[in-house]
């Protein structure tokens, strides 16, 4: 059988403009199947714009370039975006016919077995994000896009969610693009960290165990424009 050498996700010379402002500037990015890429960048650097482009959620935005992504893409946002009038299980399998059993399995995977019939407002913020993850994973995405999914959670819940996400990704092996403000979160979770600056890639670091993470962290912070004095 011929080896499929295609890259799973390919962005080439991607440009996006809002009015006269160029937000993404001839950006190139490739993500391998199953690779976990974290995207860092100062506020306004274009992270969410890139994610929206990959999700196909920016239909009427001006720009050009190539976006080549697989058909099965799931997106998780900072807020869980559950439908308040649908029970937890119905939120997970929304739009999928005959998927209740798979939905239950997904809920069990995120630690919410037994909460299928709860209403979203009966769940904590962290639990709602678990439901959002279950909703994504039940669709078996080849690409999982996550825009600061843990940004609104407390530190302890965030650490738990990191472990959960790592486990789910190991099991389901989607490629992941995670937008985050948190350098340590990026280092903890990703195979590769990419820093965006004014819509271009300013730095890239692989977490393949070859180098010490303190060194990688310092380089990422430098690329983010954090001065030595500000570093902790
Ligand atoms: N719909 C829009 N109309 C006009 N300008 C927009 C729109 N969406 C985003 N922008 C602008 O594009 C720039 C990049 O926004 P984007 O949300 O991609 O940045 P970001 O890196 O995700 O920032 P943050 O970390 O603060 O979420 C910002 O300056 C923003 O004001």
- Structural domain boundaries in the chain: 1-72+141-232, 82-140
Predicted TM-score of the model (pTM): 0.92
The pocket around ligand 1, CB under 6 angstroms, is made up of 18, 23, 41, 43-49
Question: Cα 30 vs. chain centroid, distance in angstroms?
Answer: 15
Mind listing the pLDDT tens digit for each residue in 51-106? 999 998 887 777 888 888 888 899 999 899 999 999 999 999 999 998 999 999 99
Cα-to-centroid distance, 44 and ligand 1 (Å): 5
Furthest-apart CA atoms within the chain: distance in Å: 56
Cα distance between residue 88 and residue 135, in whole Å: 10
Mind listing the pLDDT tens digit for each residue in 173-204? 999 999 999 999 999 999 999 999 999 999 99
Task: Assess contact for 205 and 193: CB atoms under 8 A.
Answer: yes
Q: What is the ipTM of this complex?
A: 0.95
What class does CATH assign to 1-72+141-232? alpha beta
Cα-to-centroid distance, 81 and ligand 1 (Å): 20
Tell which CATH architecture fits domain 82-140. Up-down Bundle (1.20)
Cα-to-centroid distance, 46 and ligand 1 (Å): 6
């Amino acid at each position: 059988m011929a080896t499929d050498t295609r890259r799973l996700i390919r962005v080439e010379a991607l440009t996006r403009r809002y009015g006269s402002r160029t937000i993404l500037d001839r950006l190139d990015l490739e993500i391998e199947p199953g690779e976990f890429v974290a995207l860092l960048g100062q506020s306004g650097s274009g992270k969410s714009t890139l994610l929206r482009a990959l999700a196909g959620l920016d239909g009427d935005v001006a720009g050009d370039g190539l976006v080549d992504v697989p058909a099965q893409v799931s997106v998780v946002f900072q807020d869980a975006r559950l439908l308040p009038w649908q029970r937890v299980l119905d939120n997970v399998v929304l739009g999928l016919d005959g998927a209740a059993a798979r939905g239950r399995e997904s809920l069990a995977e995120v630690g919410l077995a037994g909460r299928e019939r709860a209403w979203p407002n009966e769940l904590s913020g962290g639990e709602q994000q678990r439901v959002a993850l279950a909703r994504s994973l039940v669709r078996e995405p080849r690409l999982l896009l996550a825009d600061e999914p843990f940004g609104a959670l407390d530190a302890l819940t965030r650490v738990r969610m990191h472990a959960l996400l790592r486990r789910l990704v190991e099991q389901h092996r989607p490629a992941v693009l995670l937008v985050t403000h948190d350098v340590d979160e990026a280092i903890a979770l990703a195979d590769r960290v990419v820093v965006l600056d004014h819509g271009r890639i300013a730095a890239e670091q692989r977490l393949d165990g070859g180098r010490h993470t303190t060194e990688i962290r310092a380089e990422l912070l430098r690329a983010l424009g954090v001065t030595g004095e500000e570093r902790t």
